[in-house]
Structure 1
């Protein structure tokens, strides 16, 4: 029929559609079981017995397939009926017509009586790389397999959003729910025995802390990375890589560990307590890299492993920690060829140090080979560098410019002189420092000056930041070219993150660079330029933290977190205390969303301890951050009085919005008292809301309204609580603010659910879950999924309930959430359905235990819009 449209057969709710292909009568029981499993997951089964047949069979199932998302094939003994004028059965035709890109899950019933044509079809399917197949014996076993496989495939709902994302490893700094162990940039040579020995120590489990000790440049971090990858099977609950390179204050150890574990420090509970809860009962490995600069914090590890005895810590440090439970493992150099003078080619090849030199030389000059003519020179280079891996790598990088003989000759002349000038260092530290001096001495003056200036950056940095600190420096205007040369010289690493080129220095190179700046008396000048750049960056980004653009602003600041820390440190260190106060206050929303209050508190306490002249506003900011954690963890009359002083100082400095926020915080402190003075707390919160509304500060107004709602909950006034939470949500909507909408919405839906407004609560939880995904706010996502789980329980969806309950339980432990009694609305409905339908719940829990957070969110939401899909693809 010319111009005729193919029949459109859609499911009423437009959910994910699962096309089920099988013979009808032979597998009637299995089809009923699979249909029930699909519906329990709130998906839509697409099956012949569920719809009318106004079209010929082939046209019908072609139409069904065109409207479906997943293909399930169930095969037993029969090949199926072959219609007149057809060559194959409808069973095979359905498989052939399924689009290649459609996920295909094939389930083959165990049988000894299969028809030959079905055997041929199955054989063809088994060679199809677009299909996955499993066997089954009973309908119950089939249901478990289908449910588990579909749960994993739910992530396909947002795969389209991945199409524009680079397929390489994601190196964004997340909200790092999981701190991934870095992938080595180059091959590891000569550490097989060390790798086996350290893995054995971890496997034995007798020592809670294994410390890899050795001088800078010996390869401790590289070995730790390799051990972590090789030991994943020993730690089924996860491996976390915690980079301490930019952490200089011992008090920041706990906040940094919490950050990499995915624990938000919102001040509401002690970080140590939350970390212990997150690690409790979990067999995890936590790698702590570059511990030597905060070695005074080592006793914290004893407290952590005492309450979490299944957790192990793998530490890299230049010094021994000297704590109970520590096993020290000395990382040795790579042995160069023994002796002196001429050396044969085969003997040189057997040396691990020579092997490393050759490998790294070929990375910069692919046609380089070890020959009988240059073997002696390469061996001499490795001897002079005492087998230090980093020193050998720096020397090998010069092979583009010099022959091995030229490198050996220059080292022979330079190293003794250079090591003599640093006699205060241990032997191998002197060799490493001298090698860096020698390597840098070969650079042109502008490149050498740039490298030293880069020492002010933390972890990674952008070209824009480099050019900003270069104004007025000797290399001004040459940043791009000079940086490219440093990358070519293997002194700077380049990595692309989120489509942007970023750069980094090795920790030892950064320490060397900042040391050189200090020797020249220029460190403070460059630190000031660094702080100026990031202060300006914060000034431009921070307004977007309230309202539209919030998610992008949080992501942007997250990429710069290490340098934000460094900038705050520079401002305090160089006594720009008022600038430090403004910097901290302008990022209040970011600290709140991302959970970094402990770090800011340390900087602000240091600021106050300087006892130098500061403005009233700076003093109020510093006191506010210092009191924030006390307000939640140790509420007292002194905290109330301190926040009252913040109100006065903010008011006198002309910042009425900040004064109102401090007033709301004061009321929140009162709410923690066992003898609640509800009248005072309500008066202060009401006053704060009125002021913030008048000032147009919707973000703070919405949060203060949440405070009034929580106060009403404490008093048992559900209707008033609902009114305040609803008003908070309205203010958040007016300002297009995702975070406050999540907070208000999750509180509002709890009330609605307890009042029996199930449909309204469900819609709200869908909304807050989608927003939480976009903001990468795991706490908000956990609360929303618990609510959706509760609703699923009231509807008897046992499998879905079990899956969501398992995922959120894991999220709660991993992020150290404590408020189960007050907020986990799903617990009672969960126990009720567990009693009535234990098998479905148990099957769901098994599937949920294997799900990622992104997969669970996809399971919970009926529709994934593009913004949520993109966020889940990045989760």
Structure 2
């Protein structure tokens, strides 16, 4: 792919070159005035054929601008249309098109025909112009209007408080769905702190509702140029245990935790020498984990952390930035009628009120009331938004009067909180007090959800509740009151509470004495969801199940927490075990280990079954098995085998036996005979029990063991059986793992064509699963084949691209079955210039570009759509 000059919003400019050179310069000036990127042939890479260049540029552009004068343009040999018409034909239908036709006395007949066709195209805007100066002003105005319209369209669906909408978007900074008001100076100040590079942790500190998260989002969006290796947004809102800080950071960085190395070590490796900004939002609930940040920035000195918290972290390297309220009307006078001199607090109130009443503004009649409202709410943005939502039912005078009457009483009831915390809590109290009982009780019940939830989940929660028969109308009313947010994730309508509102709702639910009952209903709903989705994890529907569970991950965490909190320990163990395949594919073993250790601590007060004890110990020992194998770990997994067996779960016992065999190999190669016997025994049992996923993955372990021992025929036989079993069930993950290992072994044995076919196949499977570790392995495999064919540039580019993925997701352990590096070194000796050039190019490839370089052309279309979001 031929990259455009930069990555801002890109405007493709189409016209004849010589005839309209002045007009092209005018359009370029208009585009750059708006800080957009002009995509123009004369700015491009000259070594590429012209048609390849504009095809590639069009594919990467966001807006099409066509300028037409008198000439139709040159028609190249063997072509039917000129480049001018070809560019218009190639512009995607969904791409906005702005067409400008210069008034002229004569025009080529074919250009007249093209313009007539454009006039009939309902996706294009069509305008005339006289001079280049006129054109510049028209283009600048039209682009500004287009961007404003697209922004307004996005406001209804973009939702910054929700987690990213799909696994591919995890960690990206959310885009605000409403304007940010009154924070320009704060954004500049925090950006200056980050630019100095002397503070490793910048903490935005202030009470709930003051706008810390919004300031962090806007600062992160403004700092992309300072952190060339990435800006990540880590939402800690539903993370309540300090031990989950590292797993959560890893999740948002895209680091898969398979247990084979310490998570902190993987994160440190992934961040090493990378200039990244990591935003940690809502840190106050796990402030005891703050020393972990010191360890991380010590081993990753080029990483910077931007933290939002209600309290100071008190760690070395921290720079505290106190987030202030919005400016309020000076003195005790009314709000300004002049927009240019209004305070930020009043401006925010007016903006949010206009979402309800488009004609709302400051008038001589309401200016005093608006000033009183903003002062009484102490300039707290969330409080002001909640008050502004009441213009649906109250006038500004009515809002001011009720706040004057209610707020002092409500703040007096929460004297144990700092001053502005009291005001925010009292404002929510006041806002909720205006709701009917059913809506108020629904809001309180919604506090059990984590981050986001669906209407199905709400309705399931409503069985036996006062609002149960009125769920849709009650939820709509809460949305209208700005207490519930809505958006769309993965094609589904979802809802969420702001962190401060969720905290309030859950507190009220506890005070009512209903928390245990509602938590039970929440856990039961997600247990039932898991029971529906889990069977698909081992076969057909695996990719869909992984995506759906990923979207539900915050509530899966909450469900486990609710089960443990309410002493349903056996249910919690069964919940965790049923998702074993998901934890493995997605890499969440460290997180599950935290839950299971908590479960084991509670067994002293609440008895558990032998099976639950075995499950908890299995997850607790998983990381130890890989990272710190010992006789104690082997013995512990042996105890899991015994407990599973005595509880009658032969299937789980066989899986624990396979894990024990793996621990033996990790601990000492002297135990390989015993390990092989245990793996073979596990395969027989798993096959008899019909657990095809575990059977196939255990066959993979037997294959790896045989390969290490030099028995390549046996290894191939095991990989063949693993692939056969996995493919029969539609298990993409194990098919990919087994196939990649088989391809590597075939490559070592000189079967290059067989290896190449399987490397490509496993690469395609990994893309479907969004399994980046598998993508890296696939790229390395195709690299080996390219190197064997003496394709020095391509092999080197793929090797570096795979290395970039490995590093970013923290896969740094030595690959025992690597095959590509020796051949690459041989090529370096024969053609060092091509290898060097390929390595330079590979470092700049996106995942999609690297995959496209690796795949045969006919395979690209099968995954192009998936890769567009990578």
Q: Which bin holds the TM-score, normalised by the shorter protein?
A: 0.7 to 0.9
Q: Distance in 2 between matches of 1:181 and 1:713?
A: 44
Q: Which range moves more in the overlay, 324-333 or 441-450?
A: 441-450
- Inter-CA distance 624–342: structure 2 relative to 1 (3 Å threshold): closer
Following superposition, the deviation at residue 344 of structure 1 comes to 5.3
Following superposition, the deviation at residue 305 of structure 1 comes to 0.4
- 1:759-778 equivalence runs, <5 A: 759-778=753-772
Instruction: List per-residue Cα deviations over 1:374-418 (Å, max 9, x = no partner).
Output: 111100000000111111111111112111111100100000000
- Inter-CA distance 860–692: structure 2 relative to 1 (3 Å threshold): same
Residue in structure 2 matched with residue 404 of structure 1 by the alignment: 396
Pair 1:731-2:725 in alignment = yes
- Inter-CA distance 422–348: structure 2 relative to 1 (3 Å threshold): farther
2:240 aligns to what SS in structure 1? coil
Q: Distance in 1 between matches of 2:378 and 2:700?
A: 64
Pair 1:864-2:859 in alignment = yes
- Inter-CA distance 71–648: structure 2 relative to 1 (3 Å threshold): closer
Residue in structure 2 matched with residue 648 of structure 1 by the alignment: 642
Following superposition, the deviation at residue 618 of structure 1 comes to 0.8
Alignment length, in residue pairs?
748
Q: Distance in 2 between matches of 1:595 and 1:90?
A: 55
Residue in structure 1 matched with residue 683 of structure 2 by the alignment: 689
**TM-score normalized by the length of structure 2:** 0.82
Following superposition, the deviation at residue 266 of structure 1 comes to 0.8
Q: Distance in 1 between matches of 2:720 and 2:158?
A: 43
Q: Distance in 2 between matches of 1:232 and 1:724?
A: 48
Q: Distance in 1 between matches of 2:673 and 2:269?
A: 35
Pair 1:487-2:479 in alignment = yes
Query: Does structure 2 conserve the Cα–Cα contact (< 8 Å) formed by 1:176 and 1:259?
Result: no
Query: Does structure 2 conserve the Cα–Cα contact (< 8 Å) formed by 1:771 and 1:868?
Result: no
Q: Distance in 2 between matches of 1:603 and 1:71?
A: 49
Residue in structure 2 matched with residue 90 of structure 1 by the alignment: 77
Residue in structure 1 matched with residue 290 of structure 2 by the alignment: 298
- Inter-CA distance 70–490: structure 2 relative to 1 (3 Å threshold): closer
Residue in structure 1 matched with residue 778 of structure 2 by the alignment: 784
- 1:592-611 equivalence runs, <5 A: 592-610=584-602, 611=604
- Segments of structure 1 that go 5 or more residues without pairing to the other structure are 1-36, 39-44, 48-64, 73-85, 105-119, 130-165
Query: Does structure 2 conserve the Cα–Cα contact (< 8 Å) formed by 1:258 and 1:275?
Result: yes
Q: Distance in 2 between matches of 1:555 and 1:281?
A: 31
- Inter-CA distance 672–411: structure 2 relative to 1 (3 Å threshold): same
Pair 1:496-2:496 in alignment = no
- Inter-CA distance 274–547: structure 2 relative to 1 (3 Å threshold): same
Residue in structure 2 matched with residue 803 of structure 1 by the alignment: 797
- 1:406-445 equivalence runs, <5 A: 406-445=398-437
Q: Distance in 2 between matches of 1:92 and 1:680?
A: 70
Instruction: List per-residue Cα deviations over 1:826-864 (Å, max 9, x = no partner).
Output: 222222323333343344334333332123222211133
- 1:231-380 equivalence runs, <5 A: 231-340=223-332, 342=334, 345-346=337-338, 349-380=341-372
Following superposition, the deviation at residue 743 of structure 1 comes to 1.0
Query: Does structure 1 conserve the Cα–Cα contact (< 8 Å) formed by 2:272 and 2:300?
Result: yes
Q: Which range moves more in the overlay, 246-255 or 837-846?
A: 837-846
Instruction: List per-residue Cα deviations over 1:1-22 (Å, max 9, x = no partner).
Output: xxxxxxxxxxxxxxxxxxxxxx
- 1:838-849 equivalence runs, <5 A: 838-849=832-843
Query: Does structure 1 conserve the Cα–Cα contact (< 8 Å) formed by 2:271 and 2:303?
Result: yes
Q: Distance in 1 between matches of 2:380 and 2:212?
A: 11
Following superposition, the deviation at residue 173 of structure 1 comes to 5.0
Following superposition, the deviation at residue 736 of structure 1 comes to 1.5
Pair 1:744-2:738 in alignment = yes
Q: Distance in 1 between matches of 2:202 and 2:491?
A: 37
Residue in structure 2 matched with residue 850 of structure 1 by the alignment: 844
- Inter-CA distance 423–69: structure 2 relative to 1 (3 Å threshold): closer
- Inter-CA distance 185–630: structure 2 relative to 1 (3 Å threshold): same
Following superposition, the deviation at residue 793 of structure 1 comes to 1.4
Q: Which range moves more in the overlay, 325-334 or 668-677?
A: 668-677
Q: Distance in 2 between matches of 1:98 and 1:343?
A: 57
Q: Distance in 2 between matches of 1:754 and 1:382?
A: 73
Q: Distance in 2 between matches of 1:394 and 1:167?
A: 20
Query: Does structure 2 conserve the Cα–Cα contact (< 8 Å) formed by 1:71 and 1:103?
Result: no
- 1:95-110 equivalence runs, <5 A: 95-96=82-83, 98=86, 100-102=88-90
Greater relative CO (CA pairs within 8 A, separation 6+): 1
Query: Does structure 1 conserve the Cα–Cα contact (< 8 Å) formed by 2:164 and 2:174?
Result: no
Query: Does structure 2 conserve the Cα–Cα contact (< 8 Å) formed by 1:242 and 1:289?
Result: yes
Instruction: List per-residue Cα deviations over 1:537-592 (Å, max 9, x = no partner).
Output: 00111000011110001111111000000000000010001100110010000011
Candidates 820, 823, 827, aligned match of 1:829: 823
- Inter-CA distance 103–861: structure 2 relative to 1 (3 Å threshold): farther
Query: Does structure 2 conserve the Cα–Cα contact (< 8 Å) formed by 1:708 and 1:724?
Result: yes
Instruction: List per-residue Cα deviations over 1:209-249 (Å, max 9, x = no partner).
Output: 00000000000000000000001000000000000000000
Following superposition, the deviation at residue 803 of structure 1 comes to 2.6
- Inter-CA distance 87–385: structure 2 relative to 1 (3 Å threshold): closer
Candidates 511, 524, 532, aligned match of 1:519: 511
Following superposition, the deviation at residue 714 of structure 1 comes to 2.1
Candidates 591, 601, 608, aligned match of 1:614: 608
- Inter-CA distance 716–616: structure 2 relative to 1 (3 Å threshold): same
- Segments of structure 2 that go 5 or more residues without pairing to the other structure are 1-46, 59-72, 93-107, 119-155
Following superposition, the deviation at residue 335 of structure 1 comes to 2.1
Q: Which range moves more in the overlay, 722-731 or 781-790?
A: 722-731
- Inter-CA distance 374–103: structure 2 relative to 1 (3 Å threshold): closer
**TM-score normalized by the length of structure 1:** 0.82
Residue in structure 2 matched with residue 110 of structure 1 by the alignment: none
- 1:514-593 equivalence runs, <5 A: 514-593=506-585
Following superposition, the deviation at residue 101 of structure 1 comes to 4.4
Query: Does structure 2 conserve the Cα–Cα contact (< 8 Å) formed by 1:783 and 1:824?
Result: no
Query: Does structure 2 conserve the Cα–Cα contact (< 8 Å) formed by 1:250 and 1:294?
Result: yes
Instruction: List per-residue Cα deviations over 1:754-813 (Å, max 9, x = no partner).
Output: 111110011001111110000110001110111001111121223322332222111011
Query: Does structure 2 conserve the Cα–Cα contact (< 8 Å) formed by 1:70 and 1:102?
Result: no
1:473 aligns to what SS in structure 2? coil
Following superposition, the deviation at residue 822 of structure 1 comes to 1.8
Q: Distance in 2 between matches of 1:690 and 1:835?
A: 49
Candidates 661, 669, 673, aligned match of 1:679: 673
Q: Distance in 2 between matches of 1:467 and 1:167?
A: 22
Q: Distance in 1 between matches of 2:784 and 2:286?
A: 45
Query: Does structure 2 conserve the Cα–Cα contact (< 8 Å) formed by 1:173 and 1:558?
Result: no
- Inter-CA distance 405–71: structure 2 relative to 1 (3 Å threshold): closer
Query: Does structure 2 conserve the Cα–Cα contact (< 8 Å) formed by 1:419 and 1:434?
Result: yes
Following superposition, the deviation at residue 821 of structure 1 comes to 4.2
- Inter-CA distance 88–328: structure 2 relative to 1 (3 Å threshold): closer
- Inter-CA distance 342–368: structure 2 relative to 1 (3 Å threshold): closer
